[in-house]
């Protein structure tokens, strides 16, 4: 029986030293919800890391096939990864950062509906591989995943030799810290369960998962957010408009993706546990973000957003 190991990993383990800027790749299903945009802007605004790639992820799900609307989108002819790519490019253009590589990702999961590990080749997967192979000896690439895990799983499947040179941080699944039980019945994971299981079966992968229970406390108030964003500043207007256009009826929103980015950038405001892996997977243990300081993370976001 797998045992439950509980400990808080020290600051210097959870995030590498930034004396030399850590290289980071962000992969985001930006078109799905509003919080992705806040997470991307927060990462791009930090001077402490070097963002070497921003790729788009799909958010294919059965609702796109059977309903007329998904969020504010008409589903007829809708391509989820292209919408994520459009928004990624808009953010980079607005912030004057189009020099950052921003390849489009896969448009569907790895394998097939019944399983499998056939990679889904894409410019994003190839971009990740190229970035890893260009690293100096001894360096690793930190990959932050805000949606389906397709692009990074495909990159590893296409080029297994990158595995020792990456660290993966992802948002998804549910983990009950009281019962020590996992559930994969969650949006990001359901969009590519094959990729999640593949990553959990890689014994040599340095992986940290933020379950939804951990990110849920980070909630922004709509009216406060409108007040704190200045429409005269283009990138701030994009953030406010995203709320106005996608979720105007919601007084509060959980900032799921921002929580992962903040936990990565601000390890002093989060805790990490080593827990049992899901019993059906091959690894024995896996690291999760178990707790965040939501007030510190929210205050930091607004402070960083206003920096020139």
Asked if 222 and 297 touch (Cβ cutoff 8 Å), the reply is no
Tokens of 53: 């790639």
CA distances from 176 to 233, 281, 282, 286 (A): 41, 17, 20, 14
In this structure, the number of other CB atoms found within 10 A of the CB of residue 170 comes to 24
As a whole number of angstroms, the distance between CA 80 and CA 187 comes to 14
Q: How far apart are CA 92 and CA 109, in angstroms?
A: 26
Per-residue pLDDT at 19: 55
Residues 6+ apart with CB under 8 A from 307: 45
- Going from the N-terminus, what domains does the chain have, and what CATH number goes with each? 11-305 (3.90.245.10)
Query: Which DSSP string corresponds to 183-231?
Result: E--SHHHHHTHHHHHHHHT-TT-EEEEE-HHHHTT-EEEHHHHHHHS-T
Angle between helices 193-200 and 150-158 (to 10 degrees): 50
pLDDT digits (tens, 9 = 90+) for 222-231: 999 999 999 9
The token pair at 17 is 């030293």
In 58-205, DSSP assigns E strands to: 69-70, 73-74, 141-145, 166-171, 174-176, 181-183
Share of the chain above pLDDT 90, in %: 92
The first and second tokens of residue 260, run together, are 């992962």
How large is the average pLDDT for residues 250-254? 97
* pLDDT tens, position by position, 132-159: 999 999 999 999 999 999 999 999 999 9
Alpha helices in the chain (DSSP H): 11-14, 35-45, 63-66, 80-94, 123-133, 150-158, 187-191, 193-200, 212-215, 222-228, 234-246, 256-265, 294-305
What is the distance between the terminal CA atoms of the chain, rounded to a whole angstrom? 53
Instruction: Determine the Cα–Cα distance for residues 96 and 93; give it in Å rounded to an integer.
Output: 5
pLDDT confidence of 13, banded at 50, 70, 90? very low
Q: 139 Cβ partners below 8 Å, 6+ apart?
A: 23, 165
Roughly what angle, to the nearest 10 degrees, separates helices 234-246 and 80-94? 150
Give yes or no for residue 17 having a pLDDT over 80. Answer: no
**Model confidence pLDDT, tens digit, residues 75-118:** 999 999 999 999 999 999 999 999 999 999 999 999 999 999 99
The residue to which tokens 């559930």 are assigned: 183
The first and second tokens of residue 76, run together, are: 């007829």
């Amino acid at each position: 029986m797998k045992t439950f190991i509980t400990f808080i990993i020290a600051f210097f383990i959870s995030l590498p030293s930034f004396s030399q800027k850590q290289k980071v790749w962000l992969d985001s299903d930006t078109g799905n919800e509003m919080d992705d945009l806040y997470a991307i802007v927060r990462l791009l605004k930090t001077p402490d890391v070097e963002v070497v790639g921003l790729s788009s992820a799909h958010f294919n799900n059965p609702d796109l096939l059977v309903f007329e609307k998904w969020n504010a989108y008409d589903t007829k002819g809708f391509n989820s990864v292209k919408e994520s790519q459009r928004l990624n490019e808009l953010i980079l253009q607005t912030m004057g950062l189009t020099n950052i590589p921003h390849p489009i990702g896969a448009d569907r999961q790895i394998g097939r509906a019944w399983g499998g590990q056939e990679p889904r080749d894409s410019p994003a997967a190839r971009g990740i591989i190229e970035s890893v192979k260009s690293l100096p000896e001894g360096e690793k690439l930190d990959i932050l995943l805000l949606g389906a895990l397709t692009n990074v799983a495909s990159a590893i499947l296409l080029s297994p030799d990158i595995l020792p040179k990456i660290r993966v941080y992802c948002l998804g699944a549910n983990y009950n810290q009281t019962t020590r039980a996992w559930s994969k019945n969650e949006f990001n994971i359901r969009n590519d369960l094959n990729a999640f299981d593949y990553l959990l079966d890689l014994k040599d992968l340095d992986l940290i998962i933020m379950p939804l229970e951990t990110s849920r406390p980070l909630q922004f108030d709509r009216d406060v957010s409108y007040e704190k964003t200045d429409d005269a500043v283009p990138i701030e207007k994009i953030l406010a408009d995203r709320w106005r256009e996608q979720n105007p009826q919601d007084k509060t929103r959980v900032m799921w993706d921002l929580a992962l980015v903040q936990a990565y950038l601000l390890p002093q405001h989060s805790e990490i546990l080593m827990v049992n892996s899901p019993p059906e997977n091959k690894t024995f243990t896996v690291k999760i973000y178990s707790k965040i300081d939501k007030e510190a993370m929210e205050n930091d976001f607004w402070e960083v957003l206003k920096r020139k």
